[in-house]
Amino acid sequence: MEKETFISKKSIEEMLSLSGPGARDLREKAARVRDECVGRKVYFRGLIEFSNICSNDCFYCGIRSSNSKTERYTMTPGEIMECVRFCDESGYGSVVLQSGERRDGEFTGFVTETVSAIKSEFPEMRITLSVGEQDRETLRRFYQAGAERYLLRIETSNSSHYRKLHPEKMVFENRRNCLETLRRIGFQVGTGVMIASPYQEIADLAGDLLFMKAIDIDMVGMGPYLPQKDNTLKDWSYDPQEALRLSLNMIAVLRIMMPDINIAATSALQVLDENGREKAIASGANIVMPNVTPLKYRQAYSLYDNRPCVLDTPYGCYNCITQRIEGTGLLPAKGEKGDSLRFLKRKGKRIDVCNC
């Protein structure tokens, strides 16, 4: 971490505003920083979208609670285990269990039991939970059951911007406090923001990167805001090329600011550009999350329109993403867990890769 230098908010805004050759140089620099610090490997997380039932009503989201057009589902424990088995056989060192947000005992108990079952059959498999804000005791139970990582996106670090994207009952401070609780419990903690979202300004994005640095985040999954036909913000004017430019610049600047974290090349980028994930890797990302959710559920996890890969089988995604990574000249890190080096350093663990 000693190579990290302070970058002012103004400088970050200037870097985020780059386009053309300036943006190309920025992204190439970020890729070099990634190569030098965490190596030329891309790690896999098998994404299991196990339920699209959500008690929240975020204005930008296709599976928000008030969208009556969404067909709701929850996968059975057997179906989830099948997905994990596939990940294990495919050499994915890690799975992400993702769902809408619920805090009722039936749901949190289901998550705890599922994590325990996975750990009992696959003790080496790293588990990331992405199941929204939960209270401290629930999070502690998840951790004790065997979940090591937790992804909780804040979507924006500006509380007044947050207010414009969420209903009254959702409070930015609660989300930020939850990130702190996750850290105290011992999780590897991830967050993320929406880029080019309604009402957002360049200063907000610069603030988001400074927020991630201030809370010393271990991993980040950020991607472009994408319209969804049933959401309340669907008429917001939207420029896909601008969203792509900003998204790649965000990844690049974050990599330069925090060389040793994990940064995902999110599949949302592929909506904007067929090679969106490769471009993210070329801008400093080092994580991919191939979807392993059974095909019959994919369409119903409709966070945004035109989701990629909804008709690709898990085997298809495996082959496709492997070829895409190889096409970038990096190594698909099969059979490796890919823990965040920043997290390992904080824990005082021995590091063989990091050169920073």
State the residues that interact with ligand SF4 by CB under 6 A.
54, 56, 58, 61, 63-64, 100-101, 132
Between 52 and 247, CB nearer to ligand SF4: 52
Between 219 and 226, CB nearer to ligand SF4: 226
* DSSP assignments along 222-239, one per residue: -EE----TTSTTTTS---
Residue 93 C-beta: closest distance to ligand SF4, Å: 26
Helix (H, G, I), strand (E, B) or coil at 59: coil
Between 61 and 264, CB nearer to ligand SF4: 61
Residue 187 C-beta: closest distance to ligand SF4, Å: 19
Residue 166 C-beta: closest distance to ligand SF4, Å: 8
Select from 353, 348, 325, 326 the least CA-distant residue to 337: 353
Residue 251 C-beta: closest distance to ligand SF4, Å: 21
Between 61 and 115, CB nearer to ligand SF4: 61
DSSP 347: T
Residue 55 C-beta: closest distance to ligand SF4, Å: 7
DSSP 71: P
Question: If you search the block for the tokens 């002012």, which residue do you land on?
Answer: 8
Do residues 339 and 124 touch, judged by C-beta distance below 8 A?
Answer: no
Between 63 and 243, CB nearer to ligand SF4: 63
* DSSP assignments along 170-190, one per residue: --HHHHHHHHHHHHHHT-EEE
Residue 152 C-beta: closest distance to ligand SF4, Å: 10
Between 134 and 283, CB nearer to ligand SF4: 134
Handedness of CA 24, 45, 96, 185 (dihedral sign): negative
Q: For residue 157, what are the CA distances in angstroms to 27, 92, 191, 201? A: 23, 31, 11, 12
Distance CA 269, CA 274 (A): 8
Residue 168 C-beta: closest distance to ligand SF4, Å: 14
Between 103 and 296, CB nearer to ligand SF4: 103
Residue 139 C-beta: closest distance to ligand SF4, Å: 16
Residue 307 C-beta: closest distance to ligand SF4, Å: 13
Between 58 and 139, CB nearer to ligand SF4: 58
Between 88 and 133, CB nearer to ligand SF4: 133
The enclosing H or E element of 25 equals helix 20-37
Distance CA 129, CA 106 (A): 17
Residue 99 C-beta: closest distance to ligand SF4, Å: 8
Tokens for 348, please give them.
């005082």
Select from 93, 92, 134, 89 the least CA-distant residue to 111: 134
CA angle 191, 9, 35 (to 5 degrees): 60
Between 23 and 47, CB nearer to ligand SF4: 47
Burial letters 116-154, b for 16+ CB under 10 A, else e:
bbbbeebeebbbbbbbbbbeeebbebbbebbbbbbbbbb
The enclosing H or E element of 46 equals strand 46-51
